[in-house]
Amino acid sequence: MTVKLPAPGRLHAALQACHPAGLPDWLTATSPRCGTAAPAVQLDDDQAEELADLAALVLWECQQAEGDTDPFTRVFAAVCEEVLTLLHPALS
């Protein structure tokens, strides 16, 4: 599957913030270095599922912080929702 990830810089920041121990090597290798646009990424089924799981966990964490005044909570939740919709459109 080839996907063009939405807002790759924000996505990487969201994933890194909630998974500070580190992201999978394949994901780190495909992430932009400066928060700008990134090319489409070729994902196998396992990578797509792993990315969906990581994004779902970040989204859940953001939803638990409802009422939080941190501006990143809303930004991170939005980009994770976009990724989940992209990877699993039938479930959205």
Q: Containing H/E element for 3?
A: strand 2-3
What is the reported pLDDT for 50? 93
Minimal CA–CA distance to 80: which of 2, 11, 4? 11
Give the residue extent of every domain in the chain. Answer: 2-32+41-91
Query: Both tokens of residue 87?
Result: 């990877």
What is the reported pLDDT for 92? 46
The whole model's pTM is what? Answer: 0.83
pLDDT, averaged per 10 consecutive residues of the chain (92 residues), comes to 79 87 84 65 88 94 85 91 85 48
What is the reported pLDDT for 81? 94
Q: Containing H/E element for 75?
A: helix 71-87
- Residue 32: phi and psi, rounded to 5, are -70, 150
